[in-house]
């Protein structure tokens, strides 16, 4: 392997450093002229790191003459790159494949599939993995993990045993008329009419027909009764009265103006949700709604295009998920759902206590309304979205899970006294066989499990209860938690059929093989030529492949940055839950389409089709899809969109506070598109401080940043790339000019704003410049081989469960050559690339 060279720094050293650390003097015993001008090993690396640290900290040279900023930047850049490269090379020592554990996503998918209950992934044991969560060598396992796997196993077992024996409910349609949501507001309106009458005429409470309770609750003259909110209700009613007999106007005031349906939710089922919505013509930009479930999780979001007179129907699919252990109707912190506090005041609406619910919100709830009305978009009405009705159909069940089938067959259909130890053994053997991905439950383990069952029975637990611990033990067993991948024969270099089947299914589905794949694995067909590919093709078209789409792209494209975005919706109201949901989904559906249609990697850079839902389409200025799902939309020729590069999630990932960050955007482009991740920032570079509170454009800040040699050394090769995306704002929407504010909320007089012209010219790390986004895309397209390499290496890492290093170079080059010369105009097709990974030798190796 080539060692990174450092010859170019010698002239600078000669001129500025040798006087103290050269042939004449060796202050601090450092003789730079004798140092190796390369990095061959860890010792070299440490020596150069020390020198780099000194330069970065600005400590050397201590006196005059000082090198020019440009020369210093160049030397720092050279050493930084060489060290970075060396680090990558030395990494190969860790590339050995090691036993890997199911990561959190895989554990989640696996237990959902096998146990047949939908659970919240957040409740599962926390992962402590590396950059890609399938890599075994970067996973850790601690005592607390062991305990939490067992505890989680107990809860899961109890939950699965409960639901597997519950009857399936008849599917029904629960419908809520929008107009029924208005009773509270109407009641407030009526009471206030009477209160006004009392005030105007001097009549008594009894004379106007108010009860004492109503008076106490609603009168502003009674201290501390919270009548403020009822006055808001009243105004809401007055504003919207003409519509109130047909539906509801979605409001910002709690308790009214949302469409809300209570249904008993079943963790084995899905539901279909429909709603008829319209939007006022003068609504401005507030035309979107989101659907959320009982724990405020966004299920879908859409743009409303129906009118007040002709609402249009929208349709969402919903699969509820629950806290581990869920056995009934509870709120998100595990307590019974409270009674709706408002029922006392109206006597009208009483919610079905204890049921779970789905709510349809206007998308601007959550941000203070006055932002929209008073500042953000002057002159628009307070309520913009009309909800005529909403209905929920369900539960709609999938076929029973393996767990349920086996439990019913061997245990649950019998009377408790007739369940024999053999039945229990059979159940545990067969279900254990599923959990262990086709491998036998060892006899010793089985007898121990049966022992636990008997002990539990002796302690007075019923048959199902006594099964909790044995099932939990199976779920905490290393045979379940680790993907055991033995070679087909001792000493051989190929996985056996079962291990290969698991590797394939965990690559494409993040869950265990299905019956077909097991079948092929067990009868030896899977290792025959072509068989693996045939299964892979079939599996890529299965719905379960969504887990691969999501798991892979989230990690390769660093969407965790988007997930942890910290933007104040009070400053930027469009940063709404519906937007977050939609933007996060877009790249997943985009990737799915590239695979489905076997398109080339160039589409990541630029594409003539976007895959969007109605909310994003609306915000991107595209024609709206017909349904609530993500659909391919052909981009109009004038649209700046196209490719992952211009998707909201990617662009917003490069946001820092209330500004775009060309630094983050540039770094991401280098890593994702150019396979050239910049080195991490060095320690001890003094923070550059800019005096005063003048608002500056992002481009200006970036330029100031580069006046310091220590910063410029790397940032001149990062930031100019990010500047090419300056026409997209912090949330990834198109802008003609850049508005910089001081981070103060809009209604605060201390808020200041400045507007700057956008200039999206920039350059690549090699200095090649572009004048705008289109030219930048062209330059990236010329280098699409780098993107292909970035994708391929990440796919291999994800699929093999180990880091890909120097030893894999040849394999990578061979695959890339093959994908580039496929004889058609579209090199590096996505589906072909995935199949090439599966066909590669390491995929079959332990």
Partner 1 sequence: MNLNPRFGTTRRSLLRLAAQGVSVPLLGSLLPAPARAAVAKRGKPVRLIFLSLGHGHYEDHFYPSAAGRFSEIEIPPGLEPLRNHFDDITMVSNLSNVKNRQPHGGSESLLTCADVTGFPGFAKHNSISCDQVAARAIGQNTRYESFQLDSPGGVEEGHDGIAMSFREDGSPMPGHVHPRDVFHQFFDSGMSAEAKLDHIRKRRSILDILHEDVSGLAKGSTAEDRDKLDEYFTGIRDVEKRLAREESWIGVPKPKATLPEPSPSMEGEASVRAMLTMMRLAFQADATRVVTYRLPDTSVLTGIGVSHTPHTLSHYGSSSELRDLNLVRTKKWTGILGDFLTELRSAKDLCDPEGGTLYDNTILFFGSGLRAGHRTHSIPCIIAGGGIPHLKHGRHHILSEENTPAANLWLTMLRAVGCEIEQFADSDGDLSEIFA
Which positions from 675 through 714 interact with partner 1, judged by CB under 8 A?
A: 680-693, 695-696, 701
In whole angstroms, how close is the CB of 801 to partner 1 at the nearest point? 11
As a whole number of angstroms, the distance between CA 829 and CA 248 comes to 50
Q: 395 or 577: whose CB is closer to partner 1? A: 577
Q: CB of residue 417 vs partner 1: minimum separation in angstroms?
A: 25
Compute the half-sphere exposure of residue 161: CA atoms within 13 Å on the CB side of its CA.
20
Backbone phi, psi, residue 425, to 5° = -60, -45
- Using an 8 Å Cβ cutoff, are 614 and 685 in contact? no
User: Which residues contact residue 694 at a Cβ distance below 8 angstroms, ignoring those fewer than 6 apart?
Assistant: none
Nearer to partner 1, 30 or 501 (CB): 30
What is the contact mask toward partner 1 in residues 789 to 828, using x (rule: CB under 8 A)? Answer: --------------x-------------------------
Phi, psi of 119 (to 5 degrees): -125, 160
Q: Which of 768, 794, 798 is nearest to 783 (CA)?
A: 768
Report the relative pairing of strands 631-634 and 609-612 from DSSP bridges. Answer: antiparallel
Residues 482-501 that bind partner 1 (CB under 8 A): 482, 484, 486
* Residues in region 89-128 near partner 1 by CB under 8 A: 90-91, 93-94, 96-101, 126, 128
Among 10, 138, 346, 433, indicate the residue that binds partner 1 (CB under 8 A): 138
CB 278 within 8 A of CB 246: no
One residue of 141, 344, 413, 747 binding partner 1 per CB under 8 A: 141
774 binds partner 1 (CB under 8 A): no
* Shorter beta-carbon distance to partner 1: residue 392 or 498: 498
Nearer to partner 1 among residue 387 and residue 722 (C-beta): 722
State whether the Cα torsion 762-768-769-773 is positive or negative.
Answer: negative
Contact positions with partner 1 (CB under 8 A) in 615-644: none
440 is a contact residue toward partner 1 (CB under 8 A): no
Restricted to residues 227-286, the positions that interact with partner 1 (CB under 8 A) are none
CA–CA gap between residue 476 and residue 465 (Å, rounded): 18
Q: Is 746 left (phi over 0), alpha (psi -120 to 50) or beta?
A: alpha
- Looking only at residues 143 through 162 of this chain, which bind partner 1 when binding is defined by CB under 8 A? 143-147, 150
| Sign, CA torsion 464/263/628/119 | negative
State in angstroms the smallest separation of the CB of 752 from partner 1: 9
User: DSSP 3-state assignment of 372?
Assistant: helix
Sole residue written with tokens 């044995």: 470
Written as six digits, the tokens of 191 are 């009471």
Cβ-based nearer residue to partner 1, 29 or 282: 29
Q: Which is nearer to partner 1, 83 or 787 (CB)?
A: 83
Residue 130 C-beta: closest distance to partner 1, Å: 7
The closest of 597, 483, 500 to 540, measured between CA atoms, is 597
Report, in Å, the least distance between residue 742 CB and partner 1.
5
Shortest distance (Å) from residue 146 CB to partner 1: 4
| Least Å from the CB of residue 776 to partner 1 | 25
x-marked contacts with partner 1 along 14-53 as a string, rule CB under 8 A: ------------xxxxxx--xxx----xx--xxx-xx--x
DSSP class per residue in 137-195: GG----HHHHHHHHHHHHHHHHHHHHHHTSPPPPPEEEEEEGGGGGHHHHHHHHHHHHH
Q: How far is the CB of 474 from partner 1 (least distance, A)?
A: 10
CB of 248 or CB of 803, closer to partner 1: 803
Tokens read off for 263: 């249904």
In terms of CB distance, is 130 or 400 closer to partner 1? 130
Distance (Å, whole) CA 500 – CA 512? 11
Task: Report H helices in 241-378.
Answer: 343-346, 369-370
Q: How far is the CB of 187 from partner 1 (least distance, A)?
A: 30
Q: Would you count residue 8 as binding partner 1 (CB under 8 A)?
A: no
Nearest to partner 1 of 112, 729 (CB atom): 729
The minimum distance between CB 74 and partner 1, in angstroms, equals 21
How far is the C-alpha of 451 from the C-alpha of 284, rounded, in Å?
68
> 222 or 688, CB closer to partner 1?
688
The residues, ordered by sequence, that sit 6+ positions from 344 with a Cβ below 8 Å of its Cβ are: none
Candidate residues 164, 476, 615, 815; the one interacting with partner 1 per rule CB under 8 A:
476
Closer CB to partner 1, 390 or 571, in the complex: 571
The span from the CA of 401 to the CA of 512, in Å, is 13
CB of 760 to partner 1, least distance (A): 20
Is residue 259 within 8 Å of residue 211, measured between CB atoms?
A: no
User: Per CB under 8 A, which of residues 642..681 are in contact with partner 1?
Assistant: 656-657, 680-681
SS3 474: helix
Report H helices in 478-576.
Answer: 478-481, 497-508, 515-522, 531-540, 546-556, 560-563
CB–CB of 248/379 below 8 Å? no
Q: Binding partner 1 by CB under 8 A: which of 64, 333, 821, 824? A: 333
Beta carbon nearer to partner 1, 210 or 652: 652
Residues 419-438 that bind partner 1 (CB under 8 A): none
How far, in Å, CA of 787 to CA of 292, rounded? Answer: 37
User: Closest separation between CB of residue 97 and partner 1, Å?
Assistant: 7
Within 511-570, the residues that bind partner 1 by CB under 8 A are 564, 566-568, 570
Q: How far is 589 from 606, CA to CA, in rounded Å?
A: 16
Residue 450 · residue 428 · CB < 8 Å? yes
CB of 516 to partner 1, least distance (A): 27
| Nearest to partner 1 of 86, 725 (CB atom) | 86
Which residue number, 211 or 447, has a Cβ lying nearer to partner 1?
447
Q: For residue 635, how many other CB atoms are within 10 A of its CB?
A: 20
CB of 142 to partner 1, least distance (A): 6
* Count of residues that bind partner 1 according to CB under 8 A: 92
- 567-596: contacts with partner 1 (CB under 8 A): 567-568, 570-571
| Contact positions with partner 1 (CB under 8 A) in 49-78 | 49-50, 53, 57
Placement of tokens 């590797």 in the chain: 503
* End-to-end CA, the chain: 25
- Taking the C-alpha atoms of residue 545 and residue 593, their distance in angstroms, rounded to an integer, is 12
Scanning 132-140, 182-190, 379-387, 548-556 for contacts with partner 1 by CB under 8 A, the matching segment is 132-140
Verify binding: residue 195, partner 1, rule CB under 8 A: no
- When binding is defined by CB under 8 A, the residue of 473, 495, 539, 595 that contacts partner 1 is 473
């Amino acid at each position: 392997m080539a060692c990174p060279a450092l010859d170019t720094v010698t002239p600078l050293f000669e001129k500025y450093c040798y006087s103290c650390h050269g042939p004449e003097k060796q202050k601090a015993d450092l003789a730079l002229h004798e140092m190796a001008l390369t990095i061959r090993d860890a010792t070299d690396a440490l020596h150069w790191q020390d020198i780099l640290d000194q330069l970065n900290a600005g400590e050397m040279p201590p006196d005059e003459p000082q090198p020019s900023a440009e020369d210093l930047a160049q030397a720092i850049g050279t050493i930084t790159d060489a060290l970075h490269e060396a680090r990558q090379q030395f990494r190969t020592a860790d590339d050995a494949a090691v036993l890997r554990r199911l990561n959190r996503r895989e554990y989640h998918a696996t237990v959902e599939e096998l146990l047949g209950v939908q659970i919240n992934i957040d409740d599962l044991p926390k992962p402590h993995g590396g950059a890609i969560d399938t890599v075994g060598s970067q996973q850790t396992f601690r005592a607390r993990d062991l305990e939490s796997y067992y505890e989680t196993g107990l809860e899961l077992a109890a939950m699965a045993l409960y639901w597997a024996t519950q009857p399936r409910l008849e599917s029904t349609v629960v419908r809520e008329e929008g107009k029924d949501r208005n009773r509270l507001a109407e009641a407030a309106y009526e009471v206030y009419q009477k209160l006004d009458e009392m005030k105007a005429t001097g009549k008594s409470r009894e004379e106007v027909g108010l009860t004492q309770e109503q008076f106490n609750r609603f009168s502003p003259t009674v201290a501390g009764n919270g009548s403020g909110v009822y006055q808001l209700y009243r105004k809401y009613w007055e504003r919207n009265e003409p519509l109130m007999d047909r539906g509801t106007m979605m409001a910002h005031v709690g308790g009214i103006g949302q469409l809300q349906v209570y249904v008993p939710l079943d963790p084995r089922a899905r539901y279909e949700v429909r709603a008829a919505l319209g939007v006022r013509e003068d609504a401005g930009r507030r035309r979107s709604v989101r659907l959320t479930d009982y724990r405020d999780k966004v299920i879908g979001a859409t743009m409303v295009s129906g009118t007040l007179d002709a609402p249009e129907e929208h349709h969402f699919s919903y699969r509820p998920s629950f806290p581990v252990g869920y056995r009934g109707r509870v709120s998100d912190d595990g307590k019974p759902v409270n009674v709706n506090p408002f029922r006392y005041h109206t006597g009208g609406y009483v919610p079905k206590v204890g049921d779970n619910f789905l709510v349809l919100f206007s998308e601007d709830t959550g941000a203070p309304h006055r932002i929209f009305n008073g500042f953000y978009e002057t002159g628009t009405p307070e309520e913009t979205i009309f909800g005529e009705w909403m209905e929920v159909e369900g539960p709609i069940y999938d076929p029973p899970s393996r767990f349920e089938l086996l439990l019913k067959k061997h245990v649950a259909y019998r009377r408790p006294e007739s369940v024999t130890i053999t039945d229990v053994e059979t159940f545990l053997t067969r279900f254990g066989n599923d959990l262990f991905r086709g491998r036998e439950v060892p006899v010793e383990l089985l007898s121990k499990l049966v022992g636990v069952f008997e002990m539990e029975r002796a302690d007075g637990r019923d048959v199902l209860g006594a099964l909790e611990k044995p099932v939990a033990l199976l779920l905490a067993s290393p045979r379940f938690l680790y993907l055991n991948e033995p070679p087909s024969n001792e000493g051989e270099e190929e996985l056996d059929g079962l291990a290969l089947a698991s590797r394939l299914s965990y690559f494409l589905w993040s869950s265990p093989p299905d019956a077909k794949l097991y079948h092929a694995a067990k009868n030896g067909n899977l290792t025959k030529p072509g068989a693996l590919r045939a299964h892979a093709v079939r599996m890529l078209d299965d719905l379960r492949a969504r887990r691969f789409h999501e798991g892979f792209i989230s990690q390769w494209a660093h969407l965790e940055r988007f997930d942890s975005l910290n933007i104040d919706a009070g400053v930027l109201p469009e940063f709404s839950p519906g937007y977050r949901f939609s933007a996060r989904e877009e790249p997943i559906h985009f990737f799915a389409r590239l695979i489905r249609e076997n398109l080339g990697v160039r589409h990541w850079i630029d594409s003539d089709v976007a895959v969007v839902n109605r909310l994003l389409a609306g915000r991107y200025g595209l024609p709206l899809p017909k349904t609530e799902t993500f659909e391919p939309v052909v981009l109009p020729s004038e649209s700046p969109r196209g490719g992952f590069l211009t998707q909201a999630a990617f662009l917003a990932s490069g946001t820092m506070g209330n500004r775009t960050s060309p630094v983050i955007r540039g770094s991401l482009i280098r890593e994702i598109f150019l396979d050239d991740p910049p080195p991490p920032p060095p320690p001890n570079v003094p923070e550059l401080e800019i005096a005063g509170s003048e608002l500056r454009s992002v481009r200006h800040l970036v330029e100031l940043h580069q006046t310091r040699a220590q910063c410029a050394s790397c940032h001149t090769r990062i930031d100019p790339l990010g500047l090419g995306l300056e026409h997209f704002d912090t949330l990834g929407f198109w802008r003609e000019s850049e508005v910089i504010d001081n981070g103060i909320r809009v209604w605060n007089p201390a808020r200041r704003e400045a507007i700057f012209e956008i200039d999206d010219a920039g350059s690549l790390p090699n200095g090649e410049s572009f004048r705008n986004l289109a030219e930048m895309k062209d330059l990236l397209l010329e280098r699409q081989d780098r993107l292909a390499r970035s994708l391929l290496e990440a796919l291999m890492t994800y699929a093999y469960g180990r880091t890909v290093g120097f030893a894999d170079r040849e394999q990578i080059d061979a695959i890339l050559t093959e994908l580039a010369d496929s004889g058609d105009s579209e090199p590096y097709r996505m589906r072909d690339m995935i199949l090439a990974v599966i066909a590669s030798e390491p995929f079959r190796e332990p």
